[in-house]
Amino acid sequence: MTDSVRVLQVSAEIYPLLKTGGLADVAGALPAALAGAGCEVRVLLPGFPAILAGLQNAAPVGRFTLPWGEAAQVLGGTLPAVPGADGAASLAYVVEAPSLYERPGNPYEDAQRRPYADNHRRFAALGWAAAHLARGLDPNWSPQLVHGHDWHAGLVAACIKLTAGRRVPCVYTVHNLAYQGIFGADQFADLGLPPAAFQMDGLEFHGQISFMKAGLFYADKITTVSPTYAREIQTPEQGFGLDGLLRSRRNDLSGILNGVDTTVWSPATDPLIPRHYGVEQMTGKARCKAALQAEAGLEARKDAPLFTVVSRLTEQKGLNLVLAGVDDLVHGGGQLLVLGSGDHALEAAFAHAAQRHPGAVALRVGYDEHYAHRIFAGSDITLVPSRFEPCGLTQMYGLLYGSLPLVRAVGGLADTVVDADLATLDDGTATGIVFASFSEADYRHAVRRALALHRQPRAWSRVRQNGMQQDFSWTQAARHYRAVYSAALPDLPKQPT
């Protein structure tokens, strides 16, 4: 076996072609990073219109029949829009099945935000495509290992291990245990798996099917997206009913912190922001802030600390805390800008807050990647007060762009932000504001601390510089993934660390 390992990465999204959250950023950045760690990676994606539109040099690789009798085709080609895709990392497979994937809007939900009734089939098809590629569907390339991401790829290992044919090792990465791909037991027959798979030691989860559980049970190795989250999901509080299974597999579970693609996220080179800046020359950030205030309809106050939220508007993200603290924030001299969509009640509550505080609170419903870049560049504080947070990327973007994260000490937030207290201000390690308890009182106190720190320009500048100098490159994460691959492939030579 050569030093290089052939890896098939399976995910539902990839930046910049299709993104609903951080999964896409990881799927887009990891292949190129793994190439630098001695891996030859090809990606497998469902044939959503946005992905097919980005696939160039497409050619049929092979066809297969899905368990319910529908035919699907795998196309091979390149994804030149994917960052770092100037080599083998751009090679891709796409499952072409128009009846499953060719739908407008959100890839998972209809216009009324209801999950598609056939989502179990849509993502079972992804698992079966991976199994067929593992067994030689492409006569010119086959993986030594398959790496699936999140519940959409949860059936990959089951399809490979429970049916006849070549069985390659599988690695499964949990990006968010709260989203498990739960379906009714009556849909099991569509999956094409043996009846014995529908039991406690398999896919069965409280009388239903869990794609997430399938990935956790059948994969050879499991990873998740931060060391702290790897520990948290083994507890009843954050295990979402799967903590027992995860504890039983703790020797196969690793927490690998996500990275940031600095070819996309860097205030020194970002083409999407009004002015470039860096640690040694921060003038451009003030210009970015003024431009952002004007764009958002906020008062042009350079002295007002600008707090921002870039997030799905869900209960998980702690946004009820943000709403509870709006008045304190504004009365303390701050401003708030929110970009996101999701829960209708949260959208309405933030809209009401903007009406109550014109010029101090602003909301844009939806997601706009370009606007998000301008927000990080122009803001002073990035709010991520999550109830739970597997890794979080927004706090890392905030750090790199000189927007101090205000976060709860949970998951990847705890792994990436150092609280500014007397000791860390003294030793130069402080990078943001961290609070512990998921309570309105603790959150409001954290906001007061951020406001107070902003009134101390020298201390604020030191903390901001510390954050901007953090190294969140994918290089270290790629080495950790390569080590997991080596553990799943015992005959694979170990890479030097």
The DSSP line for 110-148 is -TTSPBPTTHHHHHHHHHHHHHHHHTTSSTT---SEEEE
Domains 5-259+474-488 and 283-468 share a fold: yes
3-class SS at 362?
Answer: strand
pLDDT tens column, 15-30: 999 998 889 999 999 9
Give the domain ranges of the chain. Answer: 5-259+474-488, 283-468
Could you identify the residue written with the tokens 């050619």?
A: 59
The residues facing 44 across adjacent strands are 10, 93
Answer yes or no: are the C-beta atoms of 363 and 321 closer than 8 Å: no
pLDDT in tens, the chain (497 residues): 347 899 999 999 999 999 988 899 999 999 999 999 999 999 999 999 999 999 999 999 999 999 999 999 999 999 999 876 555 557 999 999 999 999 987 899 998 889 999 999 999 999 999 999 999 999 999 999 999 999 999 999 999 999 988 889 999 999 999 999 999 999 999 999 999 999 999 999 999 999 999 999 999 999 999 999 999 999 999 999 999 999 999 999 999 999 998 989 999 999 999 999 999 999 999 999 999 999 999 999 999 999 999 999 999 999 999 999 999 999 999 999 999 999 999 999 999 999 999 999 999 999 899 999 999 999 999 999 999 999 999 999 999 999 999 999 999 999 999 999 999 999 999 999 999 999 999 999 999 999 999 999 999 999 999 999 999 989 999 999 999 999 999 776 555 44
Sign of CA dihedral 212, 216, 220, 226: positive
pLDDT value at residue 491: 73
**Cα(52)–Cα(70) distance, rounded to whole angstroms?**
20
The closest of 6, 118, 13 to 67, measured between CA atoms, is 118
Write a three-state SS string for 227-261. HHHHHHCCCCCCCCCCHHHHHHCHHHEEECCCCCC
Binding-site annotation, residues: 19
- What is 433-457 written as a DSSP string? EEE-S-SHHHHHHHHHHHHHHHT-H
How large a percentage of the chain has pLDDT more than 90?
Answer: 91
Answer yes or no: are the C-beta atoms of 251 and 222 closer than 8 Å: no
Query: Checking DSSP bridges between strand 71-78 and strand 91-96, what pairing results, if any?
Result: antiparallel
pLDDT value at residue 87: 54
Provide the CB-side half-sphere exposure for 372 (13 A, CA).
Answer: 20
Q: Rounded to whole angstroms, what are the CA distances from 49 to 13, 17, 46, 100, 124?
A: 12, 9, 9, 11, 18
Domain 5-259+474-488: which topology? Rossmann fold (3.40.50)
Measure CA of the first residue to CA of the last residue in the chain; give whole Å.
Answer: 20
Identity of the amino acid at 147: H
Give the alpha-carbon dihedral of 104, 108, 110, 111, to 10 degrees.
-70
User: Quick one: how far is CA 430 from the chain centroid?
Assistant: 25
Query: Checking DSSP bridges between strand 145-149 and strand 170-174, what pairing results, if any?
Result: parallel
Instruction: Give the pTM.
Output: 0.92
Binding-site annotation, residues for ADP-alpha-D-glucose: 19
pLDDT value at residue 88: 53
pLDDT tens column, 303-339: 999 999 999 999 999 999 999 999 999 999 999 999 9
Q: Which is the CATH superfamily of the domain at 283-468? A: Glycogen Phosphorylase B; (3.40.50.2000)
Identity of the amino acid at 159: C
Query: Checking DSSP bridges between strand 170-174 and strand 221-224, what pairing results, if any?
Result: parallel
Mark 482-493 as b/e (b = at least 16 C-beta within 10 Å): bbbbbbbbeebe
**Cα(409)–Cα(22) distance, rounded to whole angstroms?**
19
